[in-house]
A and B are shown apart, each in its own frame.
Chain A
Amino acid sequence: AQSVSQHNHHVILSEAASLELGCNYSYGGTVNLFWYVQYPGQHLQLLLKYFSGDPLVKGIKGFEAEFIKSKFSFNLRKPSVQWSDTAEYFCAVITTSGTYKYIFGTGTRLKVLA
């Protein structure tokens, strides 16, 4: 069955540290990929997305993600985190061929220390 794995469940960083959150999916067909962010007490909102083209995509607030098809990965990165990046981050995949599926990973809680 299709799945999305986020291996880091909790990450604690100091401000200005670099961030990389892993996301791997299991599906052999065409996919669309997303990262969503949920700030404390708020609803999820889109951080960035990949449909096709340049595998390095840039999102809001200095975040970027790289799609590596051969590794079935879509890792999220930020060169220098801020306290305001404290949130939960979710990777998501849509399978665009066959039966429609929109699958979320289990999330990674990021805490940035001031």
Chain B
Amino acid sequence: NAGVTQTPKFQVLKTGQSMTLQCAQDMNHNSMYWYRQDPGMGLRLIYYSASEGTTDKGEVPNGYNVSRLNKREFSLRLESAAPSQTSVYFCASSEALSTGELFFGEGSRLTVL
């Protein structure tokens, strides 16, 4: 009963490097999300996918791209990492956009030097 699984859990990058955060859910949820969590700023939505085949920008999409690979998987890519992207990233899923209750992964701590 894994729920939402994110990899990697920790990553250190140099400025300008690229990387992809992977997320998979096994709850047959339609909607998936990527958030970043920064001290004093709570969680901010980067991108979301209402259903397989669709993606939309959230509050802070600049510097990121996403792919909804299939119903289970939703990846987040940093093409050219910047120190401002140092954060904890959370993937989440929900049955549908309107139901609201989010199920979160354990988070990925990214440091950009």
Interface size class of B (residues with CB under 8 A): 20 to 34
Segment 21-70 of A: residues with Cβ below 8 Å from B: 32, 34, 36, 42-46, 49, 51
In the assembled complex, the Cα of A9 lies from the Cα of B42 at a distance in Å of 11
Residues of B within 8 A of A106 (CB): 40-42
Binding site for A on B (CB under 8 A): 33, 35, 40-45, 48, 50, 56, 59, 90, 92, 97-98, 100-102, 104-107
With A42-B106, A43-B90, A102-B33 as given contacts, are A90 and B43 in contact (CB-CB < 8 Å)? yes
Inter-chain contacts of B35 with A (CB < 8 A): 104
Q: When the two chains form the complex, which single residue of A36, A46, A51, A100 contacts B50, counting CB atoms closer than 8 Å?
A: A100
A-B Cβ contacts below 8 A, count: 47
Contact B100 A104 (CB under 8 A): no
Min distance, Cβ A13 to any Cβ of chain B, angstroms: 21
Q: Interface residues of A, CB < 8 Å — how many?
A: 22
Instruction: Tell me whether A100 and B97 are in contact in the complex, defined as CB-CB below 8 angstroms, given that A90-B43, A105-B42 are known contacts.
Output: yes
The answer to whether residues A43 and B107 also contact, given A32-B100, A102-B33 and a CB cut-off of 8 A, is yes
Query: How far in angstroms is the closest Cβ of chain A from B33?
Result: 7
- In angstroms, how far is the closest chain B Cβ from the Cβ of A41? 9
> Residue-by-residue, is A3-24 near B (CB-CB < 8 Å gives 1, otherwise 0)?
0001001000000000000000
Is there an interface contact between B104 and A102, defined as CB atoms closer than 8 Å?
Answer: no
Q: Is the CB of B45 within 8 A of A90?
A: no
